[in-house]
Structure 1
């Protein structure tokens, strides 16, 4: 029986945890682009986003991002606006929380934008302590 010489399988596709994302240069918006915050995941590669210009748009996650870059509610993204459809856009880039904080400090994002840190237990849910005795039940 021959040996497997090719690289493949689930573990190879997953890749190594490189820290190249930290070295990424900050990307600012250009003409035909807009900053947005994800409001709701709609499924099938679509999401509802609140843009910085006050509009609410449906955005499509392009193929290069699917299953590679995970986008969640509250993430700051860069949208490419469509000339032929005002209410739809395409996701170009997802900003990390550090990059979003930098954009906010440079004045690119409004102060009302909340940056999702994805930290567990930070203001999301309150711990409620309920004391009872098993004999009372």
Structure 2
């Protein structure tokens, strides 16, 4: 049998999982040339369609630094950098985690009509999983 010449498996090549550092990062607010947006759908090839807070739908490109490390899904709140030469396109700079998005909403940076994708309801999500029938509805059946 040949000797193993490598220094580890695939998890070493991917890098360490440092979830505790990500939870402690500083909250970034938008600056000039940036806008908050909610991803409406993923298009593939590191692109997504996002609805910005100013009401403009934009085609966004996920930057290479984020592509394999940060997974962006539909409903996520992101910070996009606007382009000077193309108003209908933008670049995703940062993805906000669920608690950071709640903080942005509390600071009134995000509009109150925006629904946050928390990955699950706080009450366990059991409220919408069944249908209530009245006695009159059952008699009609």
Query: TM bucket by the smaller chain?
Result: 0.7 to 0.9
Q: Which residue of 2 aligns with 1:97?
A: 98
TM-score by length of 1: 0.83
For residues 29-52 of structure 1, the C-alpha deviation after alignment (integer angstroms, 9 at most, x for no partner) is: 000000000001111111010000
In 2: Cα distance, 1:123 partner to 1:2 partner: 54
Q: TM-score, normalised by structure 2?
A: 0.81
Matches within 5 A, 1:1-137: 1-4=2-5, 6-7=7-8, 9-12=9-12, 13-119=14-120, 122=125, 126-127=129-130
1:132 is matched with none
What CA distance in whole angstroms lies between the structure 2 residues aligned with 1:46 and 1:69?
13
Count of residues in correspondence between the two structures: 127
User: Deviation string for 1:33-75 (max 9, x for gaps)?
Assistant: 0000000111111101000011000000010111110011110
1:83-124 superposed Cα distances (whole Å, 9 cap, x missing partner): 111000000000011101111111100001111011276379
Segments of structure 1 that go 5 or more residues without pairing to the other structure are 129-137
Alpha-carbon distance, 1:126 to partner = 2.4
SS in structure 2 at match of 1:48: strand
SS of 1:115 mapped into structure 2: coil
Please report how far the alpha carbon of residue 18 of structure 1 lies from its aligned counterpart in structure 2 after TM superposition: 3.3
Residues 1:123 and 1:116: Cα distance change in structure 2 (over 3 Å):
farther
Q: Secondary structure at the match of 1:19?
A: helix
Q: Can you give the 5+ residue segments of structure 2 that lack an aligned partner in the other structure?
A: 132-141
Return the offset for 1:6.
3.0
